Amino acid sequence: MSWKAIGIFDSGVGGLTVLREIIKTLPQEDTVYLGDTARVPYGTKSPETVVRFARQITSFLVSRDIKLLVVACNTASAVSLDELKAEFPIPIVGVIEPGAAQAAKVTRSGRVGVIGTAGTIRSSAYTKAIKKINPDIEVITAECPMFVPLVEEGWTDNEVARLTAGIYLKKLKESSVDTLVLGCTHYPLLKGIISEVMGDGVTLVDSAEETARVVREILAEKGETRPVEEKGNHHFFVTDVPAGFVRVGNRFLGGALGDVYQVDLEKELLQGGRV
């Protein structure tokens, strides 16, 4: 029997933090990852543009016969998940709902902070998802756009990162949240500094871990989990030349990336008659 792969995409390298959790949770599964490195960042772009990119990438991954799609990018999950679910007939998992569910579960004070890109925070997707679970939870949000370039530069533990975090997180700290959702693929790499600034009493929620759990549940329910004795293969595609992705990606994935191939999405989709 041949088993299909799990598709996963992000605007660039950030989604590798989600892939890392999926590999940890389901080491037997094959995966196909696409990082849209030619068009990153998504966090500063309009919802219309991000939806267009997300539809193109999903068409490409679906054409590779995947069994489930993970939208690993918080910004893309925030603005395009409904459109993708309506258009493509496979299970599609975003990172917002799993992160929101975990935050609603762990908060004791009912005051939850959410940080993310401008696109994610302006969509209010996390606030809506948390309030859908428990309308009494108060959600305080903050955009932290500089965190993305800091992490890509590898500046996750120096004075610049510490100062930036201090400024961005001031309002949340003063709001006495007891839970903080790291609502961006890059932020798990800043966990150390963020928890230093927020203090011991604040639980950090990493959407990646929760998302991997949801993927495992869906595959189990559908009887589509590969046998545990198998070992998954991992394929990587990017839309710009692979060099930068490989350099930064190893840090995000926490291990050696395999071969990374460049793909021209528009050409692929034109050939397949999908755009």
**What is the binding site for ligand DGL (CB under 6 A)?**
10-11, 14, 40-43, 73-75, 117, 120, 148, 184-186
- Beta strand ranges found along the chain (DSSP E): 6-10, 31-35, 68-71, 92-94, 111-116, 138-143, 179-183, 203-206, 234-238, 260-262
Has 144 been annotated as catalytic? no
Q: Which is nearer to ligand DGL, 40 or 238 (CB)?
A: 40
Q: What is the DSSP string of 206-258?
A: EHHHHHHHHHHHHHHHTT-PPPTTS---EEEEESS-SHHHHHHHHHHHTS---
Q: Which is nearer to ligand DGL, 179 or 211 (CB)?
A: 211
* Phi, psi angle pair for 174, to nearest 5°: -65, -25
Q: Which is nearer to ligand DGL, 139 or 184 (CB)?
A: 184
Beta carbon of residue 172, minimum distance to ligand DGL (angstroms, whole number): 18
Burial 51-70 (b: 16+ CB within 10 A, else e): bbbbbbbbbbbbeeebbbbb
- Give the residue nearest to ligand DGL (CB): 43
Q: Which of 184, 190, 208, 214 is catalytic?
A: 184
Q: Which of 23, 73, 100, 182 is catalytic?
A: 73
Has 73 been annotated as catalytic? yes
Beta carbon of residue 147, minimum distance to ligand DGL (angstroms, whole number): 9
Beta carbon of residue 45, minimum distance to ligand DGL (angstroms, whole number): 8
Q: Which is nearer to ligand DGL, 69 or 219 (CB)?
A: 69
Active site residues: 73, 184
